[in-house]
Amino acid sequence: MNNKAHFGSEIILNTALTKMGRLGFKIYGTPFIGGYLRFLYLKKILKLMDRTPTNILDAGCGSGSYSFYLARNFKNAKIFGCDLLKSDIDKCKKRALDLGILNISFYTQDLLKNLPENNYDFIISIDVLEHIKENRIALKNLISSLKTSGYIFLHLPYIDWLDHSIFPESVFKQYKNFELKEHIGKPFSIHDLVDELKKLNCKIIYKQNTFNFFGRLAWELNQFLMEKKLTRLQALGIPMFKTLCKIEILLNLKETKKPGGMLVLAQKK
């Protein structure tokens, strides 16, 4: 696997970035610590699969960072990124063209509408279902689009995760407002998610809680500095925050009392 490019480094092509912003992306990759930790969990999950996927869907791809990572590292696979927002898809298409990445395609898609059946051997959907009101229908559609023996990797936040924050919840006003506006889906617990997947004829390969102490600490420190617009301190802190994320992965805490998120890797029977 080719790990030369930092995760999220394709955003360096964003014309709205300053020269310092581009330099930061070039050196550190993404400054979005939540996305970085989810990326580390994705890397971990890829090692648990017993085959190399060849037809991959990133469902709810957003800026496309996970799609681009998969395209760089599975060069013989076809990667498809879909999202409801045409503006995001247009940006992703342009970045793929500018970077000369040929094994990736992007298209607009409502996950509540039918997807092509039995089409993909690996689907990822990372922090997407919480944004969809009828998310059980979206999950059913994703499983329908998965080939028999194909894998699906899901990551979601717990709806009340900031109730257990390390720092006072009032520190994260911007995020709370975003969460109230955007997280409209019916909440899942990890047990709910596992039960839904089993009902959809999937076998659970791996599950665990995420954003435990070290990951949560990294996210909260970064978010605090971002909300306070202390951008220089935030930039200086990125290596430390990413180290905390790596410590979380190494500790491998599957069940904790106050997790921020959950992940499940399942295989369609």
Domain containing residue 60: CATH number: 3.40.50.150
Cα separation, 78 vs 107, in Å, equals 14
Q: Please state the domain count of the chain.
A: 1
Residue reference for tokens 């991959």: 56
Please provide the average confidence, as pLDDT, over all residues in the chain: 91
**% pLDDT > 70, the chain:** 93
The residue-averaged pLDDT of 38-58 equals 95
Range of the domain at 157: 9-19+31-211+254-268
Has residue 223 been placed in a domain? no
Mean pLDDT (whole number) for 59-69: 95
* Residues 6 or more apart in contact with residue 102 via CB below 8 angstroms: none
Write the CA distances from 168 to 47, 86, 104, 257, integer angstroms. 37, 36, 42, 18
C-beta of residue 52 within 8 angstroms of C-beta of residue 77:
yes
Long-range pairs for 224-229 at CB < 8 Å and ≥24 separation?
Answer: 224/167, 224/171, 224/172, 227/171, 227/172, 227/173, 227/174, 227/175
Residue 233 lies in a domain: no
Residue 150 confidence (pLDDT) above 70: yes
Q: What is the pLDDT of residue 255?
A: 67
Residue 216 resides in a domain = no
Task: Supply the pLDDT for residue 213.
Answer: 92
Q: Is residue 26 part of a domain?
A: no
How far apart are the C-alpha atoms of 72 and 56, rounded to whole Å?
13
Say if 222 falls within a structural domain.
Answer: no
pLDDT at residue 12 in the model: 66
Q: Which two tokens stand for residue 18?
A: 């300053």
**248 within a domain of the structure (yes/no):** no
At residue 3 the predicted structure's pLDDT band, cuts being 50, 70 and 90, is very low
| pLDDT score of 16 | 63
Residue 156 domain flag: yes
Alpha-carbon distance values, 81 to 86, 107, 123, 251 (Å): 12, 7, 10, 31
Q: Provide the pLDDT for residue 106.
A: 97
Judged against a pLDDT cut of 60, whether residue 238 lies above it is answered with yes
Render pLDDT for 87-120 as a digit per residue (tens, 0 to 9): 999 999 999 999 999 999 999 999 999 899 989 9
Domain-embedded: residue 63 = yes
Q: Is the pLDDT of residue 203 over 70?
A: yes
